[in-house]
Structure 1
Amino acid sequence: MSSFPLPPEDRALSPHTGWTRAHWEAVADALLAAVSGHAGPEHALIDLPGPRPSLSGRRSDALEGYARTFLLASLRVAGAHGEDPHGLLPRYAAGLAAGTRTPTAERDLADGDAVSWPTIADRPQALVEAASIALALRLTRPWLWDRLDEGTRERVRAWLAPGLAPSPVDNNWWLFPAMVGGFLAEAGPDPDGRARRALDRGLDRIEQWYLGDGWYTDGRPRAFDHYNGWAFHLYPLLHAHLAGDRALLATYGGRLAAYLRGYAHTFGANGAPMHQGRSLTYRFAAAAPLWAGALTGHTPLSPGTTRRLASGALRYFLDRGALDPDGLLTLGWFGPHPATVQPYSGPASPYWASKGFLGLLLPADHPVWTAVEEPGPAETADHVVPLPRPGWLIQSTAADGIVRLHNHGSDDQPAGEALPDSPLYARLAHSTVTGPAHGDTPDNHFGLLVDGVLTARGPIRPLGAGDGWAASAHSPRADGAAPPGLTVTSLVLTAGAEELRLHLVTGAAPGTEIRHSGWAAAGGEAHVASGGPDTTATAVSVGPDGTRLTSTLRGLHGYTRASCGALPGGTALGEAAAVPVLAGRTPAEGPALFVAAARLTGTATPPPPPPRVTVDGPRVEVRWPGGGVHRALLAPGEVTVTT
């Protein structure tokens, strides 16, 4: 639980989380108070402690500390209509004036200059922070920008101006010049139209990545993750809202509403957002698109459901050690977890979690704060939700509140290049109670042993997602190269907590060894039980709060043995972890089809009878114990499913 005082819980208004607007304000105040002790002279740079600097260096990291906490301060003050009892804005105004006096990228903090900001031209990361500064200035304009002397305003404009150039990175970074342009076009003269062009250029560029139904890919052909919500939806919609641009609001608001219909299903009953994709250390920034929908009136969610999901996400992290003893956000998921952190992340990077406080812009009498909390989708019933654009199938069970994401369409592979698989993208499945293993034993993976090397998944080609199913194909890679003609066609079928995982291998030599792993169960301790004539392996973990998680993997066709091994490095969800694994070999003739049943559950209730599975060559029929039938036909790079 958090180490700072919080208001009493209100279980009448918030029966699921107990938290109200007052709790959000208290957390924002505590986060800002904790970082203030690390501010340098004149509050220009905030140099937070950490295990290592980012690739951009300490001065850039200290600017990040200023910019990202300024965004939080701006949401806090703007949401209070300018009331600032803690004196936040005067400190950040002083930082603006000091940091822009003699901007530099050459000096390090070690030389005693703890004031100057790096320039955008010399430190590309400064562009990211410029967007947060511009947005914060826009939100607080009546109480900060409009009260600055003209000399300071000119220096700030001059520091921001290089941020109007085309983005140096071809992904969501295009939105950073757009946000700088949106502020400069509104808050000062724009005689040559550069600011407006930067805004339009950024919005035009992200149109190239919009696939429909609320889904953007992040520059790379199939990169889908939380950036879809906390960047691609947030920035354009917030600009349209602040500018009062009804046409843009209609466009981006409609997209956000479509996105939220599926996104709401990705939060677990414990409050957890989906553990998938990069920059997970931003944590409760996952709540930003929920608030954006309520703020602009473009959401399919009721006010009570919106607050329940957002407050649940904030509590999820604060209750599980996201803050260190000094009240600072750590680099990790709960506490520090180096494997979760990207090279571009520094000690202040987690403070992009500030985006999660967007709800403070809604007045205290808004229904999102006054309505009684309502349960999230994962709490109301079992759900299976296909999301064809990203190639995902969302499966949740009300008995334990677990949400599973079956991934048959998202990877982080650039076009025409071969990169190592990222555990945060390439897995067959992700969930709200598990994290990927970052060591030598991949979880939720299907691979072949080629010259003693387990193949990677590589680029994923989605084959569709529908009623209880999702499918994809990929060309496995060994040491970065794809063996000619080798293809794996994969299909998942689901009902309740049950999963049927089917993989058709073509182009492999007879007798090639196959390995398939299941969910990694992690917690304070982990136990394994493996082997048996029915090729079944089970891993069980127990969390610090006694929460029990069971991961079972059972071979039904093609597999010949099962095992279960400990994961020495654990996962972001726990230091002790284990994963079940099946193995088999491709046959001498006939289809190389492998069928397994997987199950991830947090209940102690005995599982229902297993589904009846009939395999006839490449055809599979599944009769679920609760009723319902799936029939599937697998061919190389092609899947047909009927119900």
Structure 2
Amino acid sequence: MDLPPDDRALSPRTGYTRAHWEAAADALLAAVEPYATADRALYHLPGDRQSWSGRLSDGLEGYARTLLLAAFRRDETALERYADGLAAGTAGVWPEVRHRSQPLVEAASIALALRLTRPLLWDRLDDRVRQRAAAWLGDALTAEPWPCNWELFPVTVGGFLESVGHEPEASRKAIDRGLERIEQWYLGDGWYTDGDGRKFDYYNGWAMHLYPVLHAWLADDAGLLDLYGRRLHRHLTDYERLFAADGAPMHQGRSLTYRFATTAPLWLGALTGRTPLPPGRTRRLASGALRHFLERGALDEHGLLTLGWHGPNPAVLQNYSGPASPYWASKGFLGLLLPADHEVWTAPEEPAPAEGPDAAYPVAPPNWLLQSTTADGLVRLHNHGSEHPDYDPYYSRLAYSTATGPSPSGDNSVLVDGDPSRTAIEPLGTGPGWAASRHTAARGARVTCAVLVRGAVEVRAYLVAGAEAGTEIRVTGWSPPAELRADLTPALGLTGALTGTVGDTPALFVALARLTAEPEPADLSRLAEVSPDGEGGLLVRWAGGGESRMRIEDGRVEVTSGG
């Protein structure tokens, strides 16, 4: 990808400016164009993978998601090509929008793009094409979505159709129904679950906030914008801490192949004036993420986004991931809707939170603890409240980071009788420097987990109850790439092999853990000393002064710190 030279005066940390974002958008659009069908209604990107929806739906996905990029770029030449594709697609090429079908997702991207570019695209179409397009999109108003962020796709289609006067009553009904349904998943402080349960991930930002806020903003609905804007504002207070100093987003949750779509809520806050972040920090975080992926193999030799994270990586894919799925990364270019003289483009970059002092930041709704260290710029997420009912490693492990991904061998787990499963997670609280939860493990065991952190050091404690006497317990830590170092040391109840055995009463196991990029870190055992406190709890003495006390019972954890 041919990008302008770095501008280290305006952007001392990333070097990226608006010109870099424009060049990246142009290059991505140019790279997909050779894969459009002759009528430009479908984009069949190369590769031997096909989603569960099939080739025709995958081709529609290629059209819709790259159209969204052209809309954010406001590229009139590209939009003319997509206008041709719209005319052909709605003349019988595209699959119908049906209940819980992938075309419902793509209809939302098309509708949003048409709404954002109405004078440049929709208003220039032949009336017969507009009628066909409205009719095709109209099926989304009554199509039943999956009970998750999909509820917002009929909202997005309804918002556009209402704005052009097509079936206003049905459009309004779809909007109201979808917005009402997501309320059951809002848990406060800017956080939604992605449907029932406790599935916390990036869908908070690139769906649950993005669609309602954009709808309210485009509809000029002050009441809705106040409601959803306040939620976005609060969410960004936590969200900005999920990015490492090198720009990497947290590697957790599903649909990670959308990559720098993680930047969409950052831009959204600036676009609508609902952000706590200074403009220079917004651009620094967003540009850091874009640069992170572009420099680490996200594009193949043809300039196409691959199915993966850095390069191709099947581990981060789902059954709905097709060749064009990564192009939901287009949402990351939302910032191009801001004019070139907006302060988010003109203000000097400001440091990201991960570039500030060491921090141990609690996030209450998902019951997470975010641990960042200045020495290496890494961010670690200690997970004591997010899970997937089928034990998805990307949701249910005890910890994640901006530099590692879940390993097949069961990293960051407590294994009961060799099984790393962790289900029915019950949050037990989080606070400065700690987080705790209880979960159901193999053979009916209940495991109460707690973590205490300072700097890069982690004290991990596990109280196992309800398991048969003699059951083996094994704990695991980080599984890092070669450039990082991971340590895991037994502290109480564990052998040097990090195993222990359950007795007749609940058994407590404690280990020291660390993930660091420091080339020569201090010996872990010298940074924290763990011992029984004589009152049934734990005493942790930290190197450099200060101590923490933790009382851990079956389903109950108390932590106090001093010094």
State if a TM-score over 0.5 links the two structures: yes
Aligned partners of 1:323 and 1:329 also within 8 Å? yes
Letter in 1 for 2:268: A
* Cα distance between partner residues in 1 of 2:509 and 2:397: 18
1:558 aligns to what?
493
* Cα distance between partner residues in 1 of 2:331 and 2:97: 22
Letter in 2 for 1:558: G
Aligned partners of 1:395 and 1:405 also within 8 Å? yes
Task: Give the match's secondary structure for 1:211.
Answer: strand
* Cα distance between partner residues in 2 of 1:166 and 1:140: 25
Letter in 2 for 1:560: T
What count of residue pairs does the alignment treat as equivalent?
A: 558
Letter in 1 for 2:404: T
2:434 aligns to what?
469
2:397 aligns to what?
427
* Cα distance between partner residues in 2 of 1:122 and 1:309: 37
Task: Give the match's secondary structure for 1:273.
Answer: coil
Q: Which moved more, 1:306-315 or 1:553-562?
A: 553-562
* Cα distance between partner residues in 2 of 1:376 and 1:121: 43
* Cα distance between partner residues in 1 of 2:262 and 2:367: 20
1:612 aligns to what?
529
Letter in 2 for 1:606: P
1:255 corresponds to 2:231 = yes
* Cα distance between partner residues in 1 of 2:257 and 2:424: 25
* Cα distance between partner residues in 1 of 2:85 and 2:8: 41
2:23 aligns to what?
26
C-alpha displacement of 1:606: 2.9
* Cα distance between partner residues in 2 of 1:220 and 1:323: 35
Superposed, 1:190-589 pairs within 5 Å as: 190-191=167-168, 193-413=169-389, 419=390, 421-437=391-407, 439=408, 441-449=409-417, 453-477=418-442, 483-484=443-444, 486-522=445-481, 541=482, 548-562=483-497, 582-587=498-503, 589=504
1:163 corresponds to 2:140 = yes
2:116 aligns to what?
139
* Match 1:601 to one of 501, 516, 521: 516
1:440-492 per-residue CA deviation (whole Å, 9 max, x = no partner) reads x100010210xxx5241112111110121100001113xxxxx34x2100000
Under a length normalisation based on structure 2, what TM-score does the superposition of the two structures give? 0.97
Gaps of 5+ in 2: none
* Match 2:166 to one of 172, 180, 189: 189
Letter in 1 for 2:396: A
Letter in 1 for 2:495: T
Letter in 1 for 2:461: L
* Cα distance between partner residues in 1 of 2:449 and 2:269: 35
Aligned CA-pair RMSD: 1.3
Aligned partners of 1:557 and 1:593 also within 8 Å? yes
* Cα distance between partner residues in 2 of 1:283 and 1:400: 22
Letter in 2 for 1:280: L
Aligned partners of 1:593 and 1:618 also within 8 Å? no
Letter in 1 for 2:424: P
Gaps of 5+ in 1: 78-82, 103-115, 414-418, 478-482, 523-540, 542-547, 563-581
* Cα distance between partner residues in 2 of 1:228 and 1:520: 27
1:565 aligns to what?
none
1:42 corresponds to 2:39 = yes
C-alpha displacement of 1:51: 2.6
1:367-386 per-residue CA deviation (whole Å, 9 max, x = no partner) reads 10000001100001111110
* Cα distance between partner residues in 2 of 1:189 and 1:229: 29
C-alpha displacement of 1:188: 2.2
1:73 corresponds to 2:43 = no
Under a length normalisation based on structure 1, what TM-score does the superposition of the two structures give? 0.85
Task: Give the match's secondary structure for 1:442.
Answer: coil
Task: Give the match's secondary structure for 2:91.
Answer: coil
C-alpha displacement of 1:590: 4.9
**For the structure 1 residues 380 and 316, does the alpha-carbon distance in structure 2 shift closer, same or farther, using more than 3 Å as the test?**
same
Task: Give the match's secondary structure for 1:41.
Answer: coil
Letter in 2 for 1:179: T
1:180 aligns to what?
157
* Cα distance between partner residues in 2 of 1:459 and 1:429: 17
* Cα distance between partner residues in 1 of 2:100 and 2:185: 26
Task: Give the match's secondary structure for 1:96.
Answer: helix
Task: Give the match's secondary structure for 2:435.
Answer: strand
C-alpha displacement of 1:621: 1.1
Q: Which runs of 4+ in 1 moved over 3 A?
A: none
Task: Give the match's secondary structure for 1:265.
Answer: helix
Letter in 2 for 1:610: L
* Cα distance between partner residues in 1 of 2:522 and 2:153: 49
Letter in 2 for 1:592: A
Q: Which moved more, 1:253-262 or 1:621-630?
A: 621-630
Task: Give the match's secondary structure for 1:127.
Answer: helix
**For the structure 1 residues 51 and 583, does the alpha-carbon distance in structure 2 shift closer, same or farther, using more than 3 Å as the test?**
farther
C-alpha displacement of 1:250: 0.9
* Cα distance between partner residues in 2 of 1:626 and 1:195: 62
1:623 corresponds to 2:541 = yes
C-alpha displacement of 1:626: 3.1
* Cα distance between partner residues in 2 of 1:40 and 1:457: 46
C-alpha displacement of 1:167: 2.9
Letter in 1 for 2:17: T
C-alpha displacement of 1:166: 5.0
**For the structure 1 residues 300 and 627, does the alpha-carbon distance in structure 2 shift closer, same or farther, using more than 3 Å as the test?**
farther
* Cα distance between partner residues in 2 of 1:367 and 1:593: 53
2:11 aligns to what?
14
Give the structure with the higher percent helix.
2
1:51-71 per-residue CA deviation (whole Å, 9 max, x = no partner) reads 311000000000000000000
1:99 aligns to what?
89
1:337-394 per-residue CA deviation (whole Å, 9 max, x = no partner) reads 1111101110000000000000001100001000000110000111111001001000
Letter in 1 for 2:206: W
Aligned partners of 1:167 and 1:173 also within 8 Å? no
* Cα distance between partner residues in 2 of 1:5 and 1:468: 44
